[in-house]
Amino acid sequence: RRCDVLNRGFSGYNTRWAKLLLPRLIAAGAGAESTAAVTLFFGANDSALEELNPKQHVPLEEYAANLKSMVHYLSSVGITEDRVILITPPPLQEAAWEKACLAKGERLNRHNATTGEYAQACVQVARACGTDVLDLWTLMQKRQDFSSYLSDGLHLSAEGSRFVAAQLWARLEEKLSALPWLVPYWRDVDHTDPEATLL
């Protein structure tokens, strides 16, 4: 009840493509002053192995530069670094993802260690730019068997999505707590005359 949530998900995209789209999604003068937070969640596709998945692969240095570019763009349109949250790629469960790849007639096209390099680069960009960061790659692997967080070794499962939501909420709650209520708590609505409360 404090804000609207806009989700922009682009299946299969990498930072090279997202950097080009960002000005179309968040244009200058589009209400930056009323934007509470922006999350940037990339790396799982960028970290695909170049020799097996050249279409999605983005070299590590370019990945970091693309993230910095997106943070700087957001700042240029009035969304300051303290309102940006970078999210690292989650870990890769290689055995499950290899099985998914083989089912499509492909070879394993990602490695968890490589994904970890991209996650670390994301953390370093956040430090350099002064943004918050949610390091999923590290947090999810605190559980010895993190496979239940992933539906196929790469993509989040329902449990993984709940984990991300809980971790993200801990960072968003602080940013949102100062915002006024746009509509009242349900107990405060006059059920005999809801128009009087809601309109």
**Can you give the pLDDT at residue 11?**
94
**Calpha distance 195→10 (Å, rounded):** 39
Tell me what pLDDT residue 174 has: 82
Nearest by Cα to 65 from 13, 117, 11, 129: 129
Of the candidates 72, 83, 70, 67, the one whose C-alpha atom is nearest the C-alpha of residue 31 is 83
Which domains are delineated in the chain? 15-197 (3.40.50.1110)
Query: pLDDT value at position 60?
Result: 98
Query: From the first residue on, what is the mean pLDDT of each consecutive set of 10 residues in the chain (199 residues)?
Result: 86 97 87 88 98 97 98 95 96 97 96 98 98 98 95 97 95 84 89 91
pTM over 0.85: yes
